[in-house]
Chain A
Amino acid sequence: MTFITPKGPAMPVAVRTPLIVISLLAGLALNLLPWMGTALWWRPDFLLVIMLYWVVQQPRRVGMGVAWGLGLLTDLANGGVLGQHAMAYTVAAFGALLLQRRILNFKLWQQALQVLPLLLAEQLISILAATFAGHAFSGAEYFLAVPSGTLLWLPVSLLLQWPRRAPRTADAS
């Protein structure tokens, strides 16, 4: 199978696994911070946005399986119904896999706009599961996490691109 391997300099696709793992753990930790009051409504789903970023960048490594596992961890952390976020995250990751081929051709804010429907789908599915399990819908404020998550796409992409930029310029020179 060696003939398939490209001969040129290593492609910038190579992302170190520790970076992926650490960023996902950081997302989980940010989700776990004790936020209070109205900030609770605006709080974006850090883990989801970071995970979608990796699905778009590294679809082979971070796919639906990882999404499902992370969703299960979120359910455990929330003390909610097991499987609620697992299902929602998997569907969002599936959407990201569909978008993955073209989304990187766009500018950052255009990418963010394409991520918005994925975040909305995640919220809708997790609400559907919660309603099925017997929780009551408490209001439209629930969806405030969608715009804030969309805005979060910009800093997340910039931040996670940054550690990979240095070796790439070194390669070019």
Chain B
Amino acid sequence: MSNRDAQLQLFPRGPGAGARLLIYVLISIAMIVADSRFRVLDGVRSALSTLLYPIQEAVQAPLGIYDQVSGFFVNHADLQRDNAMLRQRNLDYAGAVLRYRDLEQENNHLRTLLDAHKRTALHTRLAEIISVPRDPYSRKIIVDHGSQSGVRAGQPVMDELGLLGQVTRVYPYTSEITLLTDAGQPVPVQIQRNGLRAIAFGSGTDGVIEVRYLPQSADIRSGDVLVTSGIDGVYPPGLPVATVTRIERSPNRPFLRVECTPKAAINSYRQVLIVDGTPAAGKAPPTPHVAQGKPK
């Protein structure tokens, strides 16, 4: 009864609505400044995000049940066809792997002869996307592996088609991946055809990344494949990144305008691969975002 009386107070005490609004807005502004300019709230963020983890897991549950139920009702014929196709593909891959091993050995041998560093094999771990932020601005995804399972900020993330992005924040049970398409996310690349090095930047729109600061005379064509160059020590060399789709040569600008489509199926899969054991993972902080705005 006393509880309800408290609600039915005739003259509610405390600051008025306008004053409370002002207080909350001022606290928010202080937080925005502290977070974006001074980066002092990272500890708070990681502690509080553990609170969200049960909800994120709970959201996954119905999806899991749906997968199981729909898996139960798979047509027998479909299964058989899938199985035959997978077996065929497995055979193809087995052949390719045999040749790849041979080539890898030969390559390592040649590199020793040249006294160059050997390329290390990639170790990856599978992680599942558990949420995509509602904010369509930030091209980020949250996956279900965190510092408890050894993920560190700065690790590259790929899928089976190509580079997807980079781990930017690590929480105890989850981690945040910034996609290549996030505005201002840089990746050092080179053109597979001729080895020309460049830097690709995310443009903030789906399915488009840009190569900036290439001179008008650069040898780049539509259809060229960009792979990671590996000179930053963050991304391992040779991962496919994007295909050049459009080149605009205009004498008004000092640089070429090159648009590319990412190789990785950024919007289609629920699983990603986090690359372990790159030489600099752990040492290198996540690549800082550069000031946005297009080059003039």
Contacts and interface: CB of A to CB of B under 8 A. Distances in A.
Interface of A: 1-2, 4-5, 25, 28-29, 31-37, 40-41, 43, 45, 60-61, 63-65, 68, 71-74, 76-84, 86-87, 90-91, 94, 97-98, 126, 129-130, 132-136, 138-139, 141-142
Contacts of B293: 136
B52 interface: yes
B137 A36 contact: no
Interface string B44-64: 110011011001101100000
Contacts of A41: 136
Interface string B134-154: 111110111000000000000
B289 A87 contact: no
A80 B135 contact: yes
A132 B51 CA distance: 27
Interface stretch (B29-37, B109-117, B253-261): B29-37
B contact patch SS: mixed
Interface stretch (B17-25, B75-83, B89-97, B209-217): B17-25
Interface stretch (B1-9, B186-194, B278-286): B1-9
Contacts of A28: 55
Interface stretch (B124-132, B155-163, B221-229, B238-246): B124-132
Interface in B262-295: 267-268, 270, 289, 291-293
Given A34-B132, A136-B183, 18 more contacts: A4-B8, A31-B134, A34-B130, A40-B136, A68-B24, A73-B51, A76-B51, A77-B52, A81-B35, A83-B35, A87-B25, A91-B21, A91-B25, A133-B35, A134-B291, A135-B137, A136-B292, A138-B183
A5 B1 CA distance: 9
B10 A81 contact: no
A134 B292 contact: yes
B138 A90 contact: no
Contacts of B289: 134
Contacts of A80: 133, 135, 137-138
A74 B129 CA distance: 18
The 4 A-B pairs of least Cβ separation, nearest first, read A83-B31, A87-B28, A133-B36, A78-B133
B131 A97 contact: no
Contacts of A139: 205
